[in-house]
Structure 1
């Protein structure tokens, strides 16, 4: 196991243990970070569009703090866990969340996902009771029931398109468990399904138009706006229906509706609506991506499947997998963790500097957009032996103690860590356990798929798996 200790002494990659403006050195004396050359106006945009992930191979040759630009915006990539920890945790108040809303990518601007400051804290307080450990455990029955129904529909020899099957399954679970709603994700007319496609198309980093300001009209923007208008209408219908039938339940939608009003801590109509808009999309999309890669990797690793099934036999036995088993499914957890290391569903976080700061001996001017690329850090050989290999045991053999904490952060970190982390983890455990007890897996698609560069790290082409009943 490659330890991070030898890389944090300031001798290799410009890491400055004393920086952070704790000394008397004026911030203006720090140099700007190095970075790749670009073109006038567009900066490095063509390099990013040509190869959004390979671009970071170029970036990394300049160090762990690297500046680049895209169409007038200045970015700085942070490629060491210590710097990620500073931005997300120890100095988080010096940075705000950045989600490209100024480029027209509005996925619930007034909701928890995209808000900051007091607005974010107020909303987080309203929603936190829905995501406590005990409440998440109570959703286990819904998760197990839907997973059971899905696998009972599959037969020996069936070929499933994993990315689509798990998207439908996780959307059904999310809608029922958190919002007490029924949706039909098998229909192309379903507004949530169409919105997910539109959001991913609009956020595609392989299209130069993605990086143009929101006031520049494009065909993609017009399609996005029409689809999102339909989606918002659907969301408003759901909210009004809940008001009409009574919002006295303990699900998230009822809690949001009850939180509306005119008081100081009340949620506005836009906040209620935007939270439903964002949660219905992000709450299922990320889990479905993680499950798709988990099963793709398992289909290639018989020894891992054998170990996983041995654990299921020991922990679950003849019972149906449920929340009561989840704590003891340690190897199952390691399998999912390792899959998200290789393929983090949210592959990059962005923050914007609220003031001039210094990181790694370099000056980061106010307004700079900081890039925290999970997909790069999760495969950094300084922190992982054989990072391209699928090794679930690396999470249970004690070696992770030698690794910096933020060498792995699929759910973000600090105060802004994903509120649905426990929900997603339990959901994925129960789905993996249910499927593996009933089927062997045969991967029919590329074992090393091309990755889409949209809102998630999803596969660019469908992942097809043939099922063999056990």
Structure 2
């Protein structure tokens, strides 16, 4: 049932006395809790929360704490100076590969502040409004290519769509032959982050050992690196021809005469081209999976689109698409694309009454916090009305944090929400998508939260 009333409960559990370390499950020597996590990554955190709101767990070389209460999540995300992003330094020697270490996701301290200050204007609301037509055009082109009655792999369709939007709006190039190169790199990054189905021994194998998995990853990333080098060379050769994200990164910042190194630019391109398009693609996939299971909500989205819009959506329409926004937010609650955020305590501190030693890794599992019945009634149900403003105001601030929070809040948050509010109503007006695969697919923890099997739908055009 859709749009029932809700009333959150409050209160933290499991706080110990000052100076105590957090409780947690027993682990194995050396491996710690690795075997439990690999067996069922999301289920592992459902087990951890039984120990309280601040829970200790261990992995090779890593002491970690999982945090489940919104107040403590907020303490971590807002605690700049006490907590920094975990950049997985402890695993670099073991894994022998890094994912965009100089990109915005993993830099820290002054380097991160400098990068964020430089990049933030590129995601300003005024600039984003200019991307509206790219979002609309790409979506209309995708729908036009679908045949009535055709069966689609929806997650793949949305991945191509969001990648096309990103490259045309932020990077001013058509995908062409680069499409498969970027897609292959995204697939291999996802696969390398997916530990489901691996044995503990496989997990500990360094990437220089030529397993099939590692060779495939190396080939994909080598091709991606060559593509990035070509893009940089094209911009440097014809700087006056482009006015896009990449060209701006190649220019100096007037205030500080700061210019980015090629390594930084390369890693930002990985971050935005790969992670940026895949997160939104998964948000769209899970949104339409939920709408297919909830026809009343699907009908409300279509009614709103036909009422508010007299043609394709524009940036001016977005504030009026309130039903669409609530549907998107509820999908992000149930299936947050990032799945989990990572931080590190850079000094000894206290969290929820427990002592947190310096160097402890902090795990913030969005998928667990977002489905906690203390903050959401019937948390497993799809109820977009939870996000009416009067109801949202009753919840703790960090009961819902799909884009993170604090100074490190996702820089592409407004871009992503703008995409969702363009694409969802266009689809609702133009096609009906009938679910033909499992209505409740298992979910894998990869670089982004992914359905374990393809989401297949059949197209019906009026």
Question: What TM-score do you get using the length of structure 2 for normalisation?
Answer: 0.93
After TM superposition, list the pairs within 5 Å mapping 1:371-450 onto structure 2.
371-396=363-388, 398-450=390-442
Q: 2:47 aligns with which of 37, 58, 61?
A: 58
Matches within 5 A, 1:167-186: 167-184=159-176
Within 2, Cα distance between the matches of 1:343 and 1:394?
Answer: 15
CA distance in 2, matches of 1:222, 1:174: 28
> In the alignment, is residue 451 of structure 1 matched against residue 443 of structure 2?
yes
- The whole-number CA distance in structure 1 between the counterparts of 2:208 and 2:146 is 46
Match of 1:258 among 224, 233, 251: 251
Partner residue, 1:19: none
Question: Distance between the aligned counterparts of 1:147 and 1:399, measured in 2?
Answer: 32
1:107 equivalent among 88, 99, 116: 99
Going from structure 1 to structure 2, the CA distance change for 1:40 and 1:232 (only over 3 Å counts) comes to: same
SS of residue matched to 1:55: helix
Q: Matches of 2:46 and 2:266 in 1, distance apart? A: 40
Partner of 1:234: 227
Alignment of structure 1 residues 211-230 onto 2, 5 Å: 211-212=203-204, 217=209, 219=211, 220-230=213-223
Corresponding residue for 2:181? 191
Q: Is the 8 A contact 2:14 2:51 kept in 1?
A: no
* SS of residue in 2 equivalent to 1:327: helix
What SS is found at the alignment partner of 1:299?
helix
Distance 1:457 1:209 in 2: 24
8 Å CA contact 2:142, 2:161 repeated in 1: yes
Q: Distance in 2 between matches of 1:306 and 1:451?
A: 26
Q: Counterparts of 1:122 and 1:336 in 2: how far apart (Å)?
A: 32
Alignment of 1:67 with 2:59, yes or no, is no
- Cα displacement (A) at 1:99: 4.0
2:3 counterpart residue number: none
Q: Which ranges in structure 1 are unaligned for 5 or more consecutive residues?
A: 17-28
Corresponding residue for 2:8? 3
CA distance in 1, matches of 2:76, 2:69: 11
Alpha-carbon RMSD across the aligned residues, in angstroms, is 2.0
Q: Kindly report which structure 2 residues correspond to 1:80-95, keeping only aligned pairs within 5 A, or say none.
A: 80-89=69-78, 91-95=79-83
After superposing the two structures, state which structure 1 stretch, 103-112 or 407-416, moved more.
103-112
Contact kept, 8 Å, 1:247 with 1:254, in 2: the verdict is no
Residues 325 and 366 (structure 1), Cα distance of their counterparts in 2 relative to 1, 3 Å cut? same
Kindly tell me: are residues 185 and 434 of structure 1, through their superposed partners in 2, closer, same or farther at Cα, counting changes over 3 Å?
farther
Question: Which residue of 2 is the match for residue 13 of structure 1?
Answer: 14
Please, which of 297, 300, 321 is the counterpart of residue 293 of structure 2?
A: 300
Q: CA deviation at 1:121?
A: 1.2
Deviation of 1:137 after TM superposition, in Å, equals: 1.1
Q: How many residues are matched?
A: 449
Q: Secondary structure at the match of 2:451?
A: coil
Residue 24 of structure 1 is matched in structure 2 by none
Distance 1:212 1:170 in 2: 34
Cα distance in structure 1, aligned partners of 2:432 and 2:347: 54
TM-score after normalising by structure 1: 0.91
- What is the rounded CA distance, in whole Å, between the counterparts of 1:389 and 1:35 in structure 2? 29
Return the offset for 1:4.
Answer: 4.2
Matches within 5 A, 1:280-319: 280-317=273-310, 319=311
Shift of 1:315: 0.8
Q: Choose from 338, 357, 371 the match for 1:346.
A: 338
**Which 4+ stretches in 1 moved above 4 angstroms?**
213-216
